[in-house]
Structure 1
Amino acid sequence: MGRYKKILVAVDGSESSMHALRESFKLATKEGSWITVVSVVPPYEGDLAMTAIGNIQQAIKEPYEKALSEAEKMAKAERMLIKTVCAEGEPYEGIVDLAEAEKCYLIILGRKSMSRFERVFLGSVIVKVIGHTLCRVMVVPQDAKLTFEKILIATDGSMHSEFASQEAIDIAKRCGSTLIVLSVAKKDENLPAAKECVDMVKKVAEKEGIKVETLIRQGVPHEVI
């Protein structure tokens, strides 16, 4: 069994979340992982005094239960064994709490195609999950494929990028990936530091027998990445 012994995938019935689940099967097969699929029913924010509580709660819950049912069908078609959990509460809290309870190493979330404005916020649930969990988080854009042929790691020499680099190196080693190491300098005077950052990651990766390509660019980091 690989490093990703337990994976948590969150679904809400959207095409992007179901696509992420479909792609997670590839990783689970490669790693011999156990997959738990969670769908978190958000709290009702309307006026309970104006409606039948039981009916509205069931109506809210129904699409999330349907998403889990669809997940089970997908898993059966792929001959995958999964565990499904229907939780209630704030979505990010349900995902983070279950990942901790299940001792999952990795959380996988889907992301729909977004406008430039939406990309600024990435998706509140995704941002909150990343900000509140100690687990690794993989965000799978809609229609993206998890092939692991090439992995791009952006580094700025910070402690956080060092952790990310080590994770990328580990994945590249296990999957036979080419590692592309990128550092983005905002100004001309930052270029030497950017080169130093990529050289450090390259040195570590090559010691592990990984094929490495390096890139140094100038501009706005998130746009270049």
Structure 2
Amino acid sequence: MFKNIAVTLDGSENSNDALIQAVDIAKTNNANLTLVSVVNETSYYYMGNAVTVGATPLPTDMKNAQRNAAQKILDKSQAYCMGQGVTASMKVEEGIPKRVIVDAYSREKGYDLLVIGKSGTDAISRVLMGSTTAYVVRNATTTVMVVG
């Protein structure tokens, strides 16, 4: 039924549960599995002392630290996949997570299933901008499985 599956991972308990489900589905369907972690570009900026001051970029080393953290999440997840007998590719993306997931993984790259946790690690962004999961469910053009 499903041949190309992407699972989004942010290190949260819900994304770990999503990984377990995605691996089971990949095994059952003999499907390709891609592990995706999105480095949130909005976290590269912090606000000045007032909203009108604008945003100031964070140092490049902080961006690299976020990329390294995302890669560690994927490495750990790939090790789990291998232990389950599933080969998975990995992809670290940058951008606004909900947009990257919808645009790249439901529209451009031809995945027929997106697996995502019901909520992730970024509670502040969820309050300010809305849930990534809710956005993906509303806007994806492919099947979305929410795990949590």
Tell me the TM-score range normalised by the shorter chain.
0.7 to 0.9
1:6 maps to amino acid: N
Partner residue, 1:46: 46
TM-score by length of structure 1 reads 0.53
Segments of structure 1 that go 5 or more residues without pairing to the other structure are 114-122, 142-225
Partner residue, 1:129: 136
Partner residue, 1:62: 68
1:80-112 residue CA offsets vs partner (Å, 9 max, x unmatched): 111111000000111112212320111101125
Work out whether 1:140 is the aligned partner of 2:147.
Answer: yes
SS at match of 2:6: strand
User: Considering only aligned residues, what root-mean-square deviation do their CA atoms show, in Å?
Assistant: 2.0
Bigger radius of gyration among the two: 1
Partner residue, 1:16: 14
1:93 maps to amino acid: R
Partner residue, 1:82: 88
Partner residue, 1:96: 102
Q: CA deviation at 1:59?
A: 2.1
Q: CA deviation at 1:50?
A: 7.5
1:8-58 residue CA offsets vs partner (Å, 9 max, x unmatched): 10001112101211121111111111111110000112167575x221111
Identity %: 27
2:143 maps to amino acid: R
Residue 13 of structure 1 contacts residue 63 of structure 1 at CA under 8 Å; is this kept in 2? no
Give me the whole-angstrom Cα distance separating, in 2, the residues matched to 1:57 and 1:26: 33
Q: Against the structure 1 CA distance between its residues 55 and 124, is the aligned structure 2 distance closer, same or farther, given a 3 Å change threshold?
A: same
Q: Alignment length, in residue pairs?
A: 129
1:64-213 correspondence runs (5 A):
64-99=70-105, 100-111=107-118, 124-141=131-148
Give me the whole-angstrom Cα distance separating, in 2, the residues matched to 1:26 and 1:70: 17
Residue 7 of structure 1 contacts residue 106 of structure 1 at CA under 8 Å; is this kept in 2? yes
Residue 119 of structure 2 contacts residue 133 of structure 2 at CA under 8 Å; is this kept in 1? no
